[in-house]
Structures are given as C-alpha cells and as structure tokens.
Amino acid sequence: MGTEIKEYGKVYNKDGVLVVHKKMKKGEKIPPHTHQYKELFFTVVSGKMEVHLNDKETYIAEPKKALNFAGDVNISATALEDSDIFIYLVGENKK
C-alpha cells in the first residue's frame, strides 16, 4: 500500500510529477537553473536552505515550511546546514 522513500535522486517520475530527494552538505550549492513548464514545491525535511528566485527574492527554507514557485523562475540554493530536501515538479513537459 505505502512506500517509504529512503533513496536519493529522482525517486518518482510518473503522470507529470517528478519528485527529487537530495541530501545536501553545509555549504553545498544548487546552481542557477529553471524547469520550464513545471510548478515547483521545495520542502526541507531537516536542516536549513537559503533559496534565491530570479536573484530578486531570498527565502530561508526549513522544516514545516514549503516554497512554491513557477518553473520558469531561475532558482539557486545553498545549504546553510546539512539538509535533507524534497523537490516536487508538477506538470507535463511541453516542446
């Protein structure tokens, strides 16, 4: 019935939903990038992340919070602490 997700990387990719589970070391960075035609949800299970959107908005992502933004927004992030995160990308790729 249920499945515990313990592995890292792309852990689900079906019906227009991609779920990525990442373990980040303090100081590790996610370089600037976009996910065209997707809606994103960025969640932190443990730790703390600094997230930049279009180099105009900065958020501190931590447990009990979720950050939502459009995929055409340029995202970059830095782990402020060792962190465990899930990123949910929703929507079909269009070409």
- What was the pLDDT predicted at 88? 98
- Which of 11-20, 28-37, 85-94 has the lowest average pLDDT? 85-94
- What was the pLDDT predicted at 92? 75
Query: What is the fold of 10-90?
Result: Jelly Rolls (2.60.120)
pLDDT tens, 37-72?
Answer: 999 999 999 999 999 999 999 999 999 999 999 999
Count CB-CB contacts under 10 A for residue 11: 15
Extents of the domains making up the chain = 10-90
Q: What are the φ and ψ backbone dihedral angles of 49, each rounded to 5 degrees?
A: -125, 140
